[in-house]
Amino acid sequence: MPNLTLASLSDELANLASTNAAAVVQVIGARRPATGVVHGPDTIVTTARAIGREDGLRIRIADADAAEADLAGWDPPTGIAVLRTRTPIAAAAPTVAPTEPRPGEIAVVLARSWSHALTVSAGVVAVVGGPLRTGRRAQIARVIRLTAPMHEGFAGGAVFNASGQLTAIATASAIRGFGVAIPASIAWNAATEILAGGTRRRGFIGVAVQSATLGAAQRTGGRERALLVVGVTPGTPAETAGLMVGDILLDVEGTATESPDDLLDALTGDRIGKTVVARTLRGGAVRDLPIAIAERPRS
């Protein structure tokens, strides 16, 4: 007697794949084709790993011939890239899940094979964590790790939940055997900023700093290192907040700042226009300074 529960689950997963297949496209630009996800009427979200270069980019949707596309920009910390097609895209963008997935949820990953066939992998969400450093001054705030097997062609692929909503963009990278994906909320925010200015915005307060070892009398909470302010640019948020050369910057919004990279990591684009609290040390006294984050000049 057939197992109707398993048969029903199998049908649901197959239906999910076929329903969202049109939103998953082939990206041709790297050594081997990879994958992208429809974002708008003429935009595709993928990863820098999928494109490989900035010229000669093409995408292939459904059974149509490959169409030319241009790199609108990319976000170095996440590796998210946006392509703008030279002709409109008929396929609609997938529905983005309103919340991030939880460990244990089903994850269905759709990609395009090198022959352009729809490729499906499935598993569960193993870990939702972060931040994940991706460079000396770059990190992804959160990442999702999946048990679903993925090869290089899955770079830029779409991760769906059991309701058929987009939850993440696959990277085809792995950590401890689990495939890494970028939450859809982060990928879509990166795409919005890329399309607005070609790159993501970065925060700015206008200080020059260097790592410093704290003296015995300066150590608070067991901290041995912090940032010494060696320069303050006139007219910047740092000067307005009252930061001075010689101040010790201990943390920003509770996150320790022990190297210049730590400060840059704290100045994310989503904090532009907001006020953060910087804990500083001056003359042996700890002070909390509110600093309004400005946008880093693009020049």
Query: Please, how many CA atoms are within 13 Å of residue 279, restricted to the half-sphere of its CB?
Result: 15
Q: Is the pLDDT assigned to residue 299 strictly greater than 60?
A: no
Residue 31: pLDDT band with limits 50, 70, 90: confident
Each residue's pLDDT tens digit, 189-234: 999 988 987 666 778 899 988 888 887 766 766 678 889 999 999 9
- Please indicate, yes or no, whether residues 48 and 124 belong to a single structural domain of this protein: yes
DSSP state letter for 237: H
- Please indicate, yes or no, whether residues 55 and 93 belong to a single structural domain of this protein: yes
Each residue's pLDDT tens digit, 140-183: 889 999 999 999 899 999 999 999 999 999 998 899 999 999 99
Rg over alpha carbons for the chain, rounded to the nearest Å, is 23
- Please indicate, yes or no, whether residues 18 and 162 belong to a single structural domain of this protein: yes
Query: Please, how many CA atoms are within 13 Å of residue 42, restricted to the half-sphere of its CB?
Result: 11
Domain boundary among the residues 198, 224, 253 is at 198
Find, among 87, 94, 41, the residue nearest to 65 by Cα.
87
Phi-psi group of 56: left, alpha or beta (phi > 0 → left; psi -120 to 50 → alpha; rest → beta): left
Q: Is the pLDDT assigned to residue 79 strictly greater than 90?
A: no
- Please indicate, yes or no, whether residues 127 and 74 belong to a single structural domain of this protein: yes
Better-scored residue on pLDDT, 251 or 219: 251
Average pLDDT score over residue span 20-41: 92
Report for 26-35, 101-110, 187-196, 264-273: range of highest mean pLDDT: 101-110
- Please indicate, yes or no, whether residues 194 and 213 belong to a single structural domain of this protein: no
- Please indicate, yes or no, whether residues 284 and 174 belong to a single structural domain of this protein: no
Return the SS3 of 24. strand
> Is omega for the bond preceding 131 within 30 degrees of 0, making it cis?
yes
Instruction: Compute the C-alpha angle 170/175/179, nearest 5°.
Output: 30
- Please indicate, yes or no, whether residues 17 and 128 belong to a single structural domain of this protein: yes
CATH of the domain at 153: 2.40.10.120
Domain boundary among the residues 198, 225, 243 is at 198
Domains held by the chain: number: 2
- Please indicate, yes or no, whether residues 150 and 3 belong to a single structural domain of this protein: yes
